[in-house]
């Protein structure tokens, strides 16, 4: 095996291990994991720039499915082609699948225990904190001037105050981007 194959094998193994680790800690969905994904993929590994990561989150937000799975597929493809994409996606889905199998078998037996309810309350609170951290982290990159602040603020208002569906808010934000940044 040549040095190119060795490097590719090490890279694929790194992709597998990194996304296996991310998959093992994806509690609360992709939003709660955005800070962890960013730290590992952008800052630690350098597989994406901050701008590419913000774009990835925006694109992943507009397409159906789990953010962590879409992220792993994109990063794997970017880092090591189709094989990298397949490996990263399988790695990120393996831990939750295994955990689900174990928990599904035990959940009905333990769900009503007070200790189980206490653990869920603690995890729920941590998930909220991680989502807020993700918002702040993405905000630093995405809200870069008065125009982007206006779009972000307007989106929050139309969704939370006026009850506009998020899809329509995203479409309106896209139109606002066309108007404000042309």
Q: What pLDDT, on the 0 to 100 scale, is given for residue 100?
A: 84
Segment-wise mean pLDDT, segments of 10 residues, the chain, 182 residues: 83 94 75 82 92 88 84 92 96 90 84 89 92 88 92 95 94 94 90
Do 100 and 161 reside in the same domain of the chain? no
Structure-token pair, residue 73 = 């597929």
Same domain as 98, residue 29: yes
- Say how far residue 80 (Cα) sits from the centre of its chain: 19
CA–CA distance, 63 with 61 (Å, rounded to integer): 6
At 27 the pLDDT is 65
**Whether residue 52 is found in the same domain as residue 86:** yes
Q: Which two tokens stand for residue 137?
A: 């982290």
Q: Note whether 124 and 170 are same-domain residues.
A: no
Do 71 and 53 lie in a common domain? Answer: yes
Instruction: Report the distance separating Cα 14 and Cα 20, nearest Å.
Output: 10
* 121 and 38 within one domain: yes
Q: For residue 63, what pLDDT is reported?
A: 84
- What letters, b where the CB count within 10 A reaches 16 and e where it falls short, cover 118-150? eeeeeeeeebeebbebbeebbeebbeeeeebee
Closest to 156 measured CA to CA, from 167, 147, 166? 166
35: containing domain: 3-142
153 plus 125 within the same structural domain: no
Say what the pLDDT of residue 156 is: 94
Please tell me whether residues 105 and 138 are part of one structural domain.
yes
The answer, as to whether pTM is greater than 0.85, is no
**Do 74 and 138 lie in a common domain?**
yes
**Predicted local confidence at residue 1, as pLDDT:** 61
Shared-domain flag, residues 43 and 85: yes
Are both 37 and 124 inside the same structural domain?
yes
Give the chain's domain count.
2
Are residue 137 and residue 148 in the same domain, yes or no?
no
């Amino acid at each position: 095996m040549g040095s190119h194959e060795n490097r590719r094998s090490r890279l694929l193994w790194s992709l597998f291990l990194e996304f296996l680790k991310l998959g093992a800690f994806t509690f609360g969905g992709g939003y709660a994991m955005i800070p962890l994904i960013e730290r590992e993929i952008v800052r630690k590994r350098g597989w994406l720039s901050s701008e590419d990561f913000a774009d990835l989150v925006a694109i992943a937000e507009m397409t159906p499915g789990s953010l962590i799975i879409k992220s792993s597929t994109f990063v794997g493809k970017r880092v090591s082609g189709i094989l990298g994409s397949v490996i990263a996606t399988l790695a990120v889905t393996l831990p939750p699948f295994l955990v689900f199998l174990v928990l599904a078998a035990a959940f009905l037996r333990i769900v009503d225990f007070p200790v189980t309810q206490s653990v869920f309350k603690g995890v729920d609170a941590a998930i909220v904190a991680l989502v807020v951290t993700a918002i702040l982290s993405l905000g630093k990159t995405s809200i870069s001037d008065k125009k982007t602040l206006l779009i972000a603020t307007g989106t929050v208002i139309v969704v939370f105050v006026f009850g506009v569906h998020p899809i329509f808010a995203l479409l309106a934000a896209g139109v606002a981007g066309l108007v404000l940044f042309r």
